[in-house]
Amino acid sequence: MPDRTTMPDRTTMPYTEFQTLKLHRRGPVGWLLFNRPDSLNAMNAGMRAELADAWLELDRDPDVRVIVHTGEGRAFQTGVDVAELATDGLGMERYRADLEAYDLHFTAWQQQVSKPVIAAVNGICAGGGFHWVSDADVVIAATTAEFTEPHVSVGQVVAMESIGLLRKMPFEAVMRMALVGRHERMSAQRAYELGMVSQLVPPDQLRDAAQELAEKIARNSPAAMAATKRALWGALETGLTEACRQGAREVVSVWGHPDQDEGPRAFAEKREPRWAEPERAEPEASPR
Amino acid sequence: MSGPYRGLLVERDGPVGWLIFDRPEVGNAMDAAMLADLPRAWADLDADPDVRVIVNTGNGPAFQTGLDVRQLAGDRDALREQSRRTKRADLRISAWHNHVGKPVIAAVNGVCAGGGLHFVADADIAIAAERAAFLDPHVSLGQASAFELIGLARRGAVEPVMRIGLTGRHERLSAARAYELGLVSAVVPDARAAARELAEKIARNPPETVRLVKQQLWRALELGLTAARREAAVIAARSPLAAPAPASQQELLGEPPCR
């Protein structure tokens, strides 16, 4: 059976032709594929720049309600492209200023994407690849996926992606991966047990499963989901009481929204709701 | 090393430093002497240039069962010192209390009770023997429990931590359940052998980088997500490459370079 997710809908908004990524839409689902399979989808400077635009394109497309990202080939993502670092004379220097200024734009979280984001981990996820696991809202994985954090083994400090992970799953597992480096890999099964991913799927069914999950999520109110996302990610920033205070603001923010009439009405009339067109709130000025 | 240490064995074996509780006749409980010597034991292992990773375990059937209440009841000075430190939240028991910079593996060889939980809550990595079990009898003795449980609750699911805090001595969390919850990353027949193998893997990584990673991940428990990441980004930007860069993603992963 052909993989239906590779047969995109005609989109009302043609996407940019990227060098390192593929974008398409299938129904309400916007797909973002890492497309450097020969380099295990490593992020080179080009991909880093393209990701910043790709997230915003999908977030702004009114026909997209949920975003799924995955990788072409055997890897999901293996972090910064070490071959480029080794050969172009710039090495990590090219990123130093952005890091010092904390001016990063390659994940959905960094780009303050308002729509739900599902990461579908199709194969190995290594090092910087954890950025997209830690910064996704929902993560599913192929049963054959593997996770490893080689940064320390090559003398690099891993931090931002591990810090994201340790807000979302047990600390010990994150610290163990960070300290053991490339000398160990975590199985998809253990990632599932620890709650790093919520569903395991045979590799040939991963994209269909991601599409199916995304379509479920797409049945919910976009405005309500955007506010829920802000409340839950915001809660990772503060203590419990303060998070609830800020969460209250999000709850109240959707009061009076047309979706709050439409939801119950559709339920009573036994039909799918017709939600208001989502609006992307433009990101705050402060970078993250 | 500036031994001997009372109630503790401090040893080195290759790149692995061992801090072993050695009062097996009382479940390795901490008496005044052990409490007094723990800071020096941690500091000596942390300062020893040949030690890359520290493993913490116990002799005998228990791992650690907390304060030796009977001994301390008869040692007024030690009791006063401990009370003072508790009031100020200024304990000197665990690696974290003593600002150890090297990775610490808790190899929980048996029962871990009450104050013994400090050594799990404050370890970087924890593994357990099959016979290990976790409990916090404080409330069954009329004592409040705080530091150990707060530390554990930061490491994963909160409900199981609250449960051991409130059930006191009347319930134990098994090693198998601790593994399911991610409080430990392995349950093994022989905790020492498994810890040594794990420590040797970590010891292959450059020590300065390992130290920075450990520091940043613990620091992240003090801050909100964005603030923690911002600090970490600056540290990453300022840390020089301590090892030659690999030539390909495959080499980075320790795979053969050919496709």
Q: Are A200 and A100 contained in the same domain? A: yes
Average pLDDT, chain A: 91
Question: Are the Cβ atoms of A179 and B125 closer than 8 angstroms?
Answer: yes
Sorting pLDDT into bands at 50, 70 and 90, what band is B1? Answer: low
Question: Are the Cβ atoms of A78 and B252 closer than 8 angstroms?
Answer: yes
Report pLDDT digits (tens) over B170-221: 999 999 999 999 999 999 999 999 999 999 999 999 999 999 999 999 999 9
Picking from A43, A172, A186 by the largest number of B CB atoms within 10 A of its own CB, the best residue to mutate is: A172
Report pLDDT digits (tens) over B11-31: 999 999 999 999 999 999 999
What does pTM read for this prediction?
0.92
Q: Are B128 and B102 contained in the same domain? A: yes
pLDDT at A29 (0 to 100): 98
Sorting pLDDT into bands at 50, 70 and 90, what band is A281? Answer: low
Q: Are B219 and B193 contained in the same domain? A: no
Q: Are B155 and B244 contained in the same domain? A: no
With CA atoms as reference, the chain B residue closest to A126 would be B253
**Cα distance between residue A163 and residue B182, in whole Å:** 17
Range of the domain at B164: 8-203
Q: Are A170 and A242 contained in the same domain? A: no
For residue B127, the surrounding DSSP H or E stretch is strand B125-129
Q: Given CB atoms, is A197 within the 8 Å cutoff of chain B? A: no
Report pLDDT digits (tens) over A156-193: 888 899 999 999 999 999 999 999 999 999 999 999 99
Question: Are the Cβ atoms of A179 and B214 closer than 8 angstroms?
Answer: yes
Q: Model ipTM?
A: 0.91
**Cα distance between residue B199 and residue A179, in whole Å:** 10
Q: Are A55 and A171 contained in the same domain? A: yes
**Cα distance between residue A206 and residue B221, in whole Å:** 34
With CA atoms as reference, the chain A residue closest to B53 would be A179
Question: Are the Cβ atoms of B248 and A183 closer than 8 angstroms?
Answer: no
Report pLDDT digits (tens) over A47-104: 999 999 999 999 999 999 999 999 999 999 999 998 888 887 777 777 888 888 999 9
Nearest-Cα distance to chain A for B131, in Å, is 20
Q: Which of A249-258, B106-115, B236-245 has the lowest mean pLDDT?
A: B236-245
Q: Which of A58-67, A82-91, A108-117, B74-83 has the lowest mean pLDDT?
A: A82-91
Picking from B150, B251, B253 by the largest number of A CB atoms within 10 A of its own CB, the best residue to mutate is: B253
Q: Which residues in chain B are contacts of A42 at CB distance < 8 A?
A: 249
- Please give the tally of structural domains in chain B: 2
Cα within 13 Å of Cα(B181), Cβ side: 20
Q: Find the mean pLDDT for residues A11-34.
A: 92
Query: What is the three-class DSSP state of A215?
Result: helix
Q: Are A61 and A46 contained in the same domain? A: yes
Q: Which of A8-22, A32-46, B56-70 has the lowest mean pLDDT?
A: A8-22
Strand A29-34 vs strand A21-26: parallel, antiparallel, or unpaired?
antiparallel
Nearest-Cα distance to chain A for B66, in Å, is 22
pLDDT at B208 (0 to 100): 92
Q: Which residues in chain A are contacts of B213 at CB distance < 8 A?
A: 151-152, 157-159, 162, 178-179
Q: Are A115 and A239 contained in the same domain? A: no
Q: Are A184 and A250 contained in the same domain? A: no
**Cα distance between residue A55 and residue A32, in whole Å:** 8
Question: Are the Cβ atoms of A127 and B228 closer than 8 angstroms?
Answer: no
pLDDT at A229 (0 to 100): 95
CATH of the domain at B122: 3.90.226.10
Q: Are B194 and B221 contained in the same domain? A: no
Average pLDDT, chain B: 93
Q: Are A212 and A140 contained in the same domain? A: yes
Domain membership flag for residue B2: no
Sorting pLDDT into bands at 50, 70 and 90, what band is A195? Answer: very high
B254 vs B211, residue with greater confidence: B211
Give percent of chain B above pLDDT 90: 85
**Cα distance between residue B86 and residue B79, in whole Å:** 10
Q: Are A16 and A153 contained in the same domain? A: yes
Q: Given CB atoms, is A112 within the 8 Å cutoff of chain B? A: no
Comparing CB atoms, the residue among B155, B236, B246 nearest residue A154 is B246
Query: Could you tell me what percentage of chain B is helix, strand and coil, using 3-state DSSP and rounding each to the nearest 5?
Result: 45, 15, 40
Q: Are A136 and A244 contained in the same domain? A: no
Residues 32-51 of A with CB under 8 A from B: 38-40, 42
**In terms of C-beta density within 10 A (0-12 exposed, 13-18 middle, 19 or more buried), how is residue A284 classed?**
exposed
Cβ contacts from A onto B, under 8 A: 198
pLDDT at A13 (0 to 100): 65
Q: Which residues in chain A are contacts of B194 at CB distance < 8 A?
A: none
Residues 203-232 of A with CB under 8 A from B: none
The yes-or-no verdict on residue B259 having pLDDT over 80 is no
Q: Are A26 and A85 contained in the same domain? A: yes
Q: Which residues in chain A are contacts of B245 at CB distance < 8 A?
A: 82, 85-86, 91, 154
Sorting pLDDT into bands at 50, 70 and 90, what band is A155? Answer: confident
Domain membership flag for residue A79: yes
CATH of the domain at A168: 3.90.226.10
Q: Find the mean pLDDT for residues B93-100.
A: 97
**Cα distance between residue B97 and residue B100, in whole Å:** 8
Q: Are A76 and A113 contained in the same domain? A: yes
Question: Are the Cβ atoms of A183 and B228 closer than 8 angstroms?
Answer: no
The yes-or-no verdict on residue A280 having pLDDT over 80 is no
Domain membership flag for residue B229: yes
Q: Are A247 and A211 contained in the same domain? A: no
The yes-or-no verdict on residue A17 having pLDDT over 80 is yes
Sorting pLDDT into bands at 50, 70 and 90, what band is A6? Answer: low
Residues 240-269 of A with CB under 8 A from B: none
Sorting pLDDT into bands at 50, 70 and 90, what band is A284? Answer: low
pLDDT at A88 (0 to 100): 78
Range of the domain at A249: 222-268
The yes-or-no verdict on residue B258 having pLDDT over 80 is no
Cα within 13 Å of Cα(B52), Cβ side: 19
- Please give the tally of structural domains in chain A: 2
Domain membership flag for residue A50: yes
